[in-house]
Amino acid sequence: MSTTYQRLLQPGKIGSVEIPNRIVKAPQSTGLSNMDGSVSERLIRHYRELARGGTGLIIVEYAYIDKIASKSAHCQLGISDNEHISGLTWLAENIKEEGCRAAIQLEHCGSQKLLGTPPIKAASAVTWPLLYQRMGANAVPEPLTIPEIEAIVEAFGEAALRAKTAGFELIEIHGAHGYLITNFLSPHTNKRHDIYGGSLENRMRLLIQVFESVRRRVGDGFPVSVRLSGTDYEPDGFGIEETIEVCKVLESKGIDAIHVSGGDNQQMIHQISPMAIPAGHNVWAAEAIKKAVRVPVIASGSITTPELAADILATEKADFIGLGRPLWADQHWVRKLREDRPEDIRPCIRCNEGCLERSFFKFKAVTCAVNPTVGREGELEIELAEVRKNIAVVGGGPAGMEAARVSAVRGHEVTLYEKRQLGGSLLGALVPRFKSDIKPFLNYLQTQILKLNVRIIEAEATIKVLQNGGFDTVIIATGTTPVELNVAGIDKPFVYNVSQVLENGINVGKKVIVVGGGIVGIEAALWLDEHNKEVVVVEMKNQILMDCTETDQTALREKLAISQIKVYEGNKLEEIVDDGVIVKQNEEAFKISGDTVFLAVGHQPDQELAEKLREKTKLEVYTIGDCVNPGKIFDAIHTAYKTARKI
């Protein structure tokens, strides 16, 4: 094993509990529980697989502590009633039986009640803006009365006792991310004038009372941690200086560990950072807190690679590493590291597509763009094929490489045809500096198919080649072709498709007009801006970035705000002329000057080869990825995986 990673795999202690290694599964809601908050078989399978993967400590997702107003999300885990103990015991036992330590996080949602159902209770009548957009005045919280606060403090303690009774070995209090305790800690959301508002001493009072209630119920020797945002990143919010003071008070009262994150749901890009935000985004806060306390500190937030995790421990910025999304991208992250196979770890690309957008915002169960088995453990495993086939995969993009990988794991003989370079759409996607997460994923896919002895042919797969190649099955992953615009001047020599430039490095002029304000167009514009080009974006719709996640929208808009890029929304391209473009808005046409035009107006499936194969041969033909329907990495990987595992 490389000495780089040895410290990650060394045991450590939190309170009286020895953790087998320094990797902690940071809690994130899965939406896998039953509607009443009880443990489901699906939830058991999910956490059992994580435990089998070698994680030292699993802090299962946040559990709501009462039946009044603490439940935040759909199918959230509950710990509000003694009837939950039976299922929670089942969950804790499954985790521990795999050699992993089991913990649980206790939570009251406060103002961030994604369900949007009344009552919504918080420190003050300060709403979560996104919820207000959905619900209007119903999203404004009711300020908690002191008797209600006292009842919540007791509910936390009772929930902690249930957790201990169920067999969990550590309890974490959720004091981060804009939930109830943060509503009290932050001046941004706490406008009270009683003993719970105003000074820091008053604003931390609820957290201290919750901790003391938990401690009374579980006893002095039982480990209790707290998760805090180093800062909520609100302009008038809770900063690192105040967080450090809170940590010192908690340490004096006997807290066993501090788990450091950042942001609230309004500042979600600091909490669940997309790839446009630098990796290890909140490690600075963990480092600052570690310098001020003696109890163990867990650093979490966009720590995506073993190299980064190892460096954090080596430079003593934290004592443990909290991984959330990376352990969904690969449940066996730790086991592969222990087996000295870091190249086999499937990296998280921080796209937030399956773990946030489709789950958190669309009320679905958790999944992962690069790992289709998450949330469906025990259903989608790869098994050896009963009949070994000779399979050709046409196209070396993400879908083609994943199909080749899965087919080879199933025992088939696999040949992959790619006439250009392995990577496909990923090659252009990884060019902008702020999309560096794509490169490790491309490396992973390339490494896997090489290790599995997939035969790679750098040539075009014609019908004749496929028909005479002795193949039983052909998987088509030919991707897309650009949408052709019926616009005068489209054939001028200074007009390029965005992918041409990103993939091939074509030199462009000083003044560039990007036609299309979706995520591809905006990312290209930002890349050009970084290279000191004068950039204008023209978008036909009335709003840009309509095709990306909430976090990508926020992060990219922030980058746009500090760039020199000009954006014209609601403008339709009418003509490309020698010195720019003619656009029209509300029947009024005008010219935008420029010397280069980038087209980022979408793609259409390339199904020509698949159609001809079905028409002219008897080969078994499957289509996957963008050649079925242009989409994202999520769609490419999921269609490839689910198709190949059945062939």
What percent of the chain is modeled with pLDDT above 70? 100
| Banded pLDDT at 133 (limits 50, 70, 90) | confident
Q: Is the pLDDT of residue 481 over 80?
A: yes
Q: Residue 114 has what pLDDT?
A: 86
| Banded pLDDT at 609 (limits 50, 70, 90) | very high
pLDDT tens for each residue of 286-312: 999 999 999 999 999 999 999 999 999
| Dist CA 229 CA 7 (whole Å) | 25
Give the residue from 487, 551, 559 showing the smallest Cα distance to 525: 559
pLDDT tens for each residue of 362-384: 899 999 999 999 999 999 999 99
Enter the CATH code of domain 390-481+604-644.
3.40.50.720
Q: Is the pLDDT of residue 1 over 70?
A: no
Q: Is the pLDDT of residue 217 over 90?
A: yes
Which two three-digit tokens encode residue 251?
A: 């340490």
Q: Is the pLDDT of residue 117 over 90?
A: no
| Banded pLDDT at 503 (limits 50, 70, 90) | confident
pTM of the model: 0.96
CATH 3.50.50.60 fits 485-601, yes or no: yes
Residue ranges of the chain assigned to CATH 3.20.20.70: 12-357
Q: Residue 405 has what pLDDT?
A: 98
| Banded pLDDT at 507 (limits 50, 70, 90) | confident
> What three-state secondary structure class fits 507?
coil
Task: Provide mean pLDDT across the span 425-449.
Answer: 95
| Dist CA 68 CA 82 (whole Å) | 15
Task: Provide mean pLDDT across the span 445-453.
Answer: 98
Cβ neighbours of residue 47 under 8 Å, at least 6 residues apart? 58, 60, 91, 94, 95
Q: Is the pLDDT of residue 504 over 90?
A: no
Catalytic residue check, 179? yes
Average pLDDT of the chain, as a whole number: 96
Q: Is the pLDDT of residue 131 over 90?
A: no
Q: Is the pLDDT of residue 170 over 90?
A: yes
Q: Residue 348 has what pLDDT?
A: 98
| Dist CA 375 CA 635 (whole Å) | 16
Residue ranges of the chain assigned to CATH 3.40.50.720: 390-481+604-644
Q: Is the pLDDT of residue 265 over 90?
A: no
Q: Is the pLDDT of residue 421 over 70?
A: yes
| Dist CA 157 CA 66 (whole Å) | 11
* Runs of H (alpha helix) within 506-619: 519-530, 550-561, 608-616
Residue 407 burial (C-beta neighbours within 10 Å; 0-12, 13-18, 19+): buried
pLDDT tens for each residue of 552-589: 999 999 999 999 999 999 999 999 999 999 999 988 99
Q: Is the pLDDT of residue 506 over 80?
A: no
Catalytic residue among 47, 62, 64, 179: 179
Domain 12-357: give its CATH architecture: Alpha-Beta Barrel (3.20)
Residue ranges of the chain assigned to CATH 3.50.50.60: 485-601
Which two three-digit tokens encode residue 288?
A: 């600052």
Task: Provide mean pLDDT across the span 223-243.
Answer: 97
- Buried b or exposed e, range 564-580, using 16+ CB within 10 angstroms: ebebbeebebbebbeeb
